[in-house]
Amino acid sequence: MKIGNQHFRSLWWNEQHQVLQIIDQRLLPHEFRIQDVETLQDYLNAISQMRVRGAPLIGATAAYGMAHAMMQDPSDSGMELARQALHDTRPTAVNLRWALDRCRQVLLQTPIFDRARVALQLAHELADEDVAINKRIGEHGLTLIREIAARKPTGEPVQVLTHCNAGWLATVDWGTATSPMYHAHDAGIALHVWVDETRPRNQGALTAWELGNHGVPHTYVTDNAGGHLMQHGEVDLVITGTDRTTRRGDVCNKIGTYLKALAARDNQVPFYVALPSPTIDWSIDDGVAEIPIEERDESETTHIQGTDGDGMIRTVRVSPETTRGGNPAFDVTPNRLVTGLITERGICAASAEGLAELFPEHAQNE
């Protein structure tokens, strides 16, 4: 997507210096900074410290991490050590495991002397695949927005609410939940997006930054405003992303998504989830019981980052010194609360049958 007049992906390979470059998302929306990822520890830090974040982007970063590792030590033991270290950075997003498993499968069939080249080519392919998948998600999601727009009075915008950041910053490009919004805006459909702040890390600010750069009208609201907006008819559609979806359509996404789904059901607002197929975990059924929920550092809840009056980025404490912070990073929305899943192959019901219809090759293997 564009920042000013320049097109950026969320990560890219610098051919001249043979190094991965990323946007350090910890500093957004206040500062745009590019970081070189030069060592395996840099890759581990990029993922665990959320310099890169979002399930698809984590997977792509891990693939480049494997390529880097093969440049250093292409042996079987070197590959396995790097794979395990990258796998352990974050437990919830299934794309991380998917990308690493795909890398290992290919590399085990590759002669050691050629592993560095093959691993880098595979990382490029995974990144390009992600862009193409997310573009198709946007094209399918556009049909939902177009249908709502056709029912509204001329000039009245379609009101979409989203939670967390499932934009191009969370993928390689386009985003998942935001892709239909970008496609609708580019198609000339009047659109307004309610952007949840998404505490504790305020990823909604990243969504607002993205939408603003693309010219999409939007409003930044507190997490608890969504139900109120729905009660008063100010939301036509909810679209979120997901970090892991079970084979029966339960959705694990940023903490607070479940509450949005409950409010949407109570107010008869369609609740859709946009997801690339690598985010589906075909090995599990019950998301509440089976998906591990990452518990992040309590400082993310007790402190908050922003800019002061001089434009300097500061971190301040918002809770009493003696109060502990709890920080589950995700929650699970049961499939009964999900109107439908927007995938690169089309839109389906959030059910085992719906997913099996779109992805029969996976359903048959289970």
Please report which confidence band the pLDDT of residue 2 belongs to, taking 50, 70 and 90 as the band edges.
Answer: confident
Integer CA distances (angstroms), 204 to 39, 193, 221, in order:
30, 11, 9
pLDDT digits (tens, 9 = 90+) for 24-33: 999 999 999 9
pLDDT digits (tens, 9 = 90+) for 28-52: 999 999 999 999 999 999 999 999 9
| pLDDT at site 364 | 63
Q: Average pLDDT for residues 138-167, to the nearest whole number?
A: 96
| pLDDT at site 362 | 82
| pLDDT at site 186 | 97
Tokens (6 digits) for 84: 């395990």
Q: Is the dihedral of CA 35, 38, 42, 43 positive or negative?
A: positive
Q: Average pLDDT for residues 206-233, to the nearest whole number?
A: 97
pLDDT digits (tens, 9 = 90+) for 225-272: 999 999 999 999 999 999 999 999 999 999 999 999 999 999 999 999
pLDDT digits (tens, 9 = 90+) for 170-190: 999 999 999 999 999 999 999
pLDDT at 366 over 70: no
pLDDT at 365 over 70: no
Q: Average pLDDT for residues 325-332, to the nearest whole number?
A: 96
Mention every residue, 6+ apart, whose C-beta is less than 8 A from residue 187: 142, 146
The CB density around residue 144, as the number of other CB atoms within 10 Å, is 22
pLDDT digits (tens, 9 = 90+) for 66-79: 999 999 999 999 99
Pairing mode, if any, of strands 280-281 and 271-274? unpaired
pLDDT digits (tens, 9 = 90+) for 289-312: 999 999 999 999 999 999 998 889
Mean pLDDT of the chain: 95
Pairing mode, if any, of strands 280-281 and 244-246? parallel
Q: Average pLDDT for residues 91-99, to the nearest whole number?
A: 87
| pLDDT at site 191 | 98
Going along the chain from its start, the domains and CATH numbers come out as 2-128 (1.20.120.420), 137-363 (3.40.50.10470)
Please report which confidence band the pLDDT of residue 93 belongs to, taking 50, 70 and 90 as the band edges.
Answer: confident
Give catalytic residue positions. 243
Please report which confidence band the pLDDT of residue 106 belongs to, taking 50, 70 and 90 as the band edges.
Answer: very high
pLDDT at 363 over 70: no
